[in-house]
Amino acid sequence: MISEKISQQVKNLIQQEFKTGDVILSYQDSGTPGVMTPIFIHSKEDIGKILINSLCVNNLAVYLSSFFQSEYKDIKQKGRIIITAKPCDAKSVVQMISDEQIPNEKILLIVFECDGVTTSRLIKEKVNQEFSKIDIKDGKYIVTLQDKQSQSIQAEEVRVSKCKDGSLCDLPTYYDYYFVGTEKSSKIDQHSKVMTETPLLQERLSRTEFKKIVDTELEKCIRCYACRNICPACFCSEKCIIDKPKLAVPFLDKEVNLANNILFHMIRFNHVAPNCTECGECERVCPQEIKLSIFYHYFNRLVKKEFGFVSGKSDLERQKLLNYRLGEELV
């Protein structure tokens, strides 16, 4: 569990580091039980609102590119951006730096140790009903149900899928501060290879069987573009090919049907394949609960196997797909 101590230490550090003009990106309580929401802090008085705990599942890296892009002119940044991140989120930040989306010197990356986060959706599934309150105590989630009864859940029972093994938990190659000290829950098994070695559906099933799964999953898509907009690797913002309004015939019809939905997800994954750090945000935010992990796991392993590239783990090397030098060996 991310301890209160870390939360306090991070706050103290931010107090010291904060200068006028800086923006702090962190978490606060949203008011909905079990849901944390990101917070942008512009003034020193608001630093007290920061709350970091094991419900902080959002990947704050997604907000970084907006500071340096055209659409959101209202938040063009002069000072630094102080961002608090879990080690997995820090990989997205590093990847964005190496994609030249954000300048390195404008970021103060504060990483805190984490041993698994959870979402209110997972807790609801676990207790099989709605709840009205969550307290975090002694490595357990104390859930107050709607009938005022309470139930306690071990942290490791409700970890989100990316926390099943430690492949994203190692220290990023670039950071400014790193806080250690989780408490009272079993650590994530760093040696477990659940994520990297479980056979992919694409390999396990025959193509027609797999196609059926793809069809049933993507049929549900309502194209709200939550997956695209929450993705730190999808940094085209309003320039995205999918909603380019100036084209005479839009590249992707707005009509929602299976063929168009598949096309949308094909374009998205093809574009983010070399940048995806498997943060799992797209799957988490999908209101239709589409299992997008079957795709991003596939692409990540593919890029790793064929190009030897693990996004978010190398600071300087830009992806090979974007870069070619004469004489270099192909695929």
Whether the CB-CB separation of 59 and 285 falls below 8 Å is answered with: no
Residue 153 binding another protein, by CB under 8 A: no
Which 285-314 positions form the footprint of another protein (CB under 8 A)?
Answer: 285, 287-289, 295, 298-299, 302, 306
Q: Which residues does 323 contact at the CB level (< 8 Å), separation at least 6? A: none
- Which is nearer to another protein, 137 or 220 (by Cβ)? 220
**Of the ranges 78-86, 174-182, 187-195, 210-218, which one interacts with another protein (CB under 8 A)?**
210-218
- Which is nearer to another protein, 155 or 292 (by Cβ)? 292
**Gap between the Cα atoms of 68 and 102, Å rounded:** 7
Which 106-125 positions form the footprint of another protein (CB under 8 A)?
Answer: 120
C-alpha radius of gyration, the chain, whole number? 20
Mapping DSSP to helix (H, G, I), strand (E, B) and coil, where does residue 28 land? strand
Alpha helices in 18-148 (DSSP H): 64-67, 87-98, 120-127
User: And the tokens for 125?
Assistant: 């599934």
For the CB of residue 224, give the shortest distance to another protein in the complex, in Å: 4
Residue 172 binding another protein, by CB under 8 A: no
Residue 181 binding another protein, by CB under 8 A: no
Residue 266 binding another protein, by CB under 8 A: yes
Whether the CB-CB separation of 51 and 29 falls below 8 Å is answered with: yes
Place of tokens 């929602």: 256
Binding mask 4-23 for another protein (x = CB under 8 A): --------------------
Which 54-113 positions form the footprint of another protein (CB under 8 A)?
Answer: 58, 62-63, 71-75
Residue 146 binding another protein, by CB under 8 A: yes
**Of the ranges 5-13, 98-106, 190-198, 252-260, which one interacts with another protein (CB under 8 A)?**
252-260
Residue 214 binding another protein, by CB under 8 A: yes
Which 25-54 positions form the footprint of another protein (CB under 8 A)?
Answer: 30-40
**Of the ranges 79-87, 166-174, 185-193, 280-288, which one interacts with another protein (CB under 8 A)?**
280-288
Residues 40-57, buried b or exposed e (16+ Cβ, 10 A)?
ebeeeeebeebbbbbbbb
Place of tokens 């019809």: 253
**Gap between the Cα atoms of 331 and 322, Å rounded:** 13
For the CB of residue 63, give the shortest distance to another protein in the complex, in Å: 8
Whether the CB-CB separation of 267 and 245 falls below 8 Å is answered with: no
